[in-house]
C-alpha cells in the first residue's frame, strides 16, 4: 500500500513539471534575449530573437563586423527567430 501512495505522489510531482524548458520572453525595454530548447551544432542553446527584424539586425551586424553571412528562420519550438549559416 505504501508503494502505491509513493507512486501516486511521484506521478503528481512529475505531472506538475514541464517536460521541456519553457521559453521566456524578454521585457519590451530589454536587449537581452530568451533561450528556447533549440541547440546549435555544438550543442549550445540558440539565441531566440523576439522579432525577425531584431534577428536581421543581428545578422547584419555580424556580417559587417565578422564577415558571417547568416539568414533568419522562425523557431520551430516557440515564437521567435533564429540565425543560421545555411
CA-closest candidate to residue 30, choices 52, 56, 54: 54
Domain of residue 74: give its range: 23-84
Assigned domain for 29 exists: yes
Q: How far apart are the first and last CA of the chain?
A: 57
Cite the DSSP H helix spans in 32-82. Answer: 52-66
Assigned domain for 54 exists: yes
Assigned domain for 74 exists: yes
Residue 11 confidence (pLDDT): 72
Assigned domain for 4 exists: no
Assigned domain for 5 exists: no
- Under 8 Å between Cβ of 72 and 52: yes
Assigned domain for 12 exists: no
Backbone angles phi, psi at 57, to 5 degrees: -60, -40
Distance of CA 8 to the CA centre of its chain: 32
Q: Kindly give the parts of the chain with pLDDT less than 50.
A: 24-27, 30
Assigned domain for 1 exists: no
Residue 31 confidence (pLDDT): 55
Residue 79 confidence (pLDDT): 86
- Report the domain count for the chain: 1
Amino acid at each position: 500500500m505504501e508503494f502505491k501512495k509513493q507512486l501516486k505522489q511521484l506521478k503528481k510531482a512529475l505531472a506538475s513539471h514541464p517536460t521541456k524548458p519553457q521559453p521566456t520572453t524578454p521585457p519590451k525595454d530589454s536587449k537581452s534575449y530568451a533561450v528556447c530548447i533549440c541547440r546549435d551544432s555544438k550543442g549550445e542553446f540558440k539565441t531566440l530573437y523576439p522579432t525577425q527584424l531584431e534577428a536581421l539586425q543581428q545578422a547584419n551586424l555580424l556580417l559587417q563586423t565578422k564577415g558571417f553571412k547568416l539568414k533568419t528562420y522562425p523557431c520551430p519550438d516557440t515564437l521567435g527567430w533564429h540565425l543560421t549559416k545555411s
